[in-house]
Amino acid sequence: MSCLIAAPCSGSGKTLLSLTLAAVARARGKSIQPFKVGPDYLDPQLLGAVAGRPCRNLDPLLCGEEWVRRCYRWHGGRAGRVLVEGVMGLFDGRGSGSEGSSAAVADLLGLPVVLVVEASRQAGSLAALVRGFRDHGPPRVTLAGVVLNRVGSDRHHRLLAEALEAIAVPLLGVLPSHPSLELPSRHLGLLTPGELGDLGERQRIWARLAEEHLDLDRLWPLLAPPAGPPEGQDPIRWCLGQVAPEPPTTVSTATPAPGPLPVAIASDAAFHFRYPEAQELLSACGLRPVPWSPLTDEPLPADCRAVLLPGGYPELHASQLAAARRSLESLGTAARAGVPIVAECGGLLLLGRELEDGDGNRHPMAGLLPFSARRGALSLGYRQALPGADGLLVRRGEVLSGHEFHRWQLVAQPPLADELAAGEGLWQLEGWGTPARIEGWTTRTVHASWLHLHWAGCPAIPSRVARAAASAVPLPRNAVSFSPVSG
């Protein structure tokens, strides 16, 4: 049976332990499937890079409990080892409760918990802290043991070991102080694997440190995959099988395509916050995802039938995006031609008039929606979305669950004639501790919002993208008339 790696709070070392265990598995020649609890994008990218296979998010609030069970068993059953990294503190869920928390997922999947404790400023008090997490509930957890982070000395180590022995909780090792375990981060989380030029060397060091400092005789059995063969069908097929048929809403004027319809997905250092299931669901719906890089000024792929703009860090690349006139022009041409466009969070920022970078400099964007964007207060948390009208992706009367996480905010501006302002008011967002508000833009061909959705929790959406793509006139090969920006 696998375990769930949790902690009293964020920053304790969950990701460090997960990365070192994944590195050990790869060094031993074993396949390992990583999972991440919650709506994270950055930790999964690192875990996936080290493990050598996509990290899967287990989020019952976004996807439902049945999806979490099926995803865990299907993907976990196809690897030699499995690890599940928790989110935030062990009992941190929606609002002040434990709904959707690491503890809730451990209970749902029947996983014991390995607790990672940052112990740099405590000794005997460690026992009280660990006992509290062991005995707290609901849901109750089975504590397999503790891994200590930032142990200061051999004497400190002995003090902490005695404190755990007094409450009969196994000590499963320590994470030593080492430069390779210092992971750089920015305002939304860790740097991406592509920004860690020494990731391969770090991985070798992590494997060595794990062999030296972790009790792998006890931890290795806790990485066992689910017992028995994977149950049921591929969760992607199962997911799409939950979608109720919908009546046709438009008559296609597009020329039938000989194969899967191409869909452009912004994929570069500015746009990379997406779950692997999104691409898999699109492919299963008869579409062909094509990577597209606005950051390198690529025009949209010829004949593309839809455009997806996922989240990421456009604010860090605002100057380069502003100079990518060919990409922005082709995006505008696609919007005016009625090619379906789906934008969330960072992708939304590309559609506005201006994007302010971290230094306060303003940069022109695609100019399709009437706002400018600048750094502001943090918006973070799960949201319930109630659509106000039928649109490209959603229908009036539906209730969707999503997650919001951004520090840039929008400043509304009067709409211009060539913008898509008529679709303002996609849905009402509600969340714990936040006032309800109307947010986003929607038309028959545009969906733009701050809200991140996991499509496994709303599988009608990729089906609707496929239907809209089939009805769209493909972007002509000579659609973009490009002229360099002067000055």
Q: Which of 363, 18, 323, 317 is CA-nearest to residue 186?
A: 317
**Residue 345 annotated to the active site:** yes
Q: How far apart are CA 426 and CA 449, in angstroms?
A: 8
Beta-bridged to residue 385, according to DSSP, are 400, 429
Three-state secondary structure along the chain? CECEEECCCCCCCHHHHHHHHHHHHHHCCCCEEEEEECCCCHHHHHHHHHHCCCCEEECHHHHCHHHHHHHHHHHHCCCCEEEEECCCCCCCCCCCCCCCCHHHHHHHHCCCEEEEEECCCCCCHHHHHHHHHHHCCCCCCCEEEEEEECCCCHHHHHHHHHHHHHCCCCEEEEECCCHHHCCCEECCEECCHHHCCCHHHHHHHHHHHHHHHECHHHHHHHECCCCCCCCCCCHHHHHHCCCCCCCCCCCCCCCCCCCCEEEEEECECCEEECCHHHHHHHHHCCEEEEEECHHHCCCCCCCCCEEEECEECHHHHHHHHHHCHHHHHHHHHHHHHCCCEEEECHHHHHCCCEEECCCCCEEECCCCCCEEEEEEEEEEEEEEEEECCCCCCCCCCCCEEEEEEEEEEEEECCCCCCCCHHHEEEEEEEECCEEEEEEEEECCCEEEECCECCHHHCCHHHHHHHHHHHHCCCCCCCCCCCCCCCC
CB 385 within 8 A of CB 344: no
Token duo for residue 76: 């976990």
Taking the C-alpha atoms of residue 120 and residue 123, their distance in angstroms, rounded to an integer, is: 9
- Residue from 282, 297, 342 nearest 462 by CA: 282
CA angle in degrees (0–180, nearest 5) for 31-32-34? 155
Pick the catalytic residue from 63, 285, 304, 345: 345
- Burial tier of 133 (Cβ tally within 10 Å: 0-12, 13-18, 19+): buried
Which candidate, 273, 277, 337, 274, places its Cα nearest to that of 304? 337
The Cα 342–Cα 423 span in angstroms is 13
> Which residues have a catalytic role annotated?
345
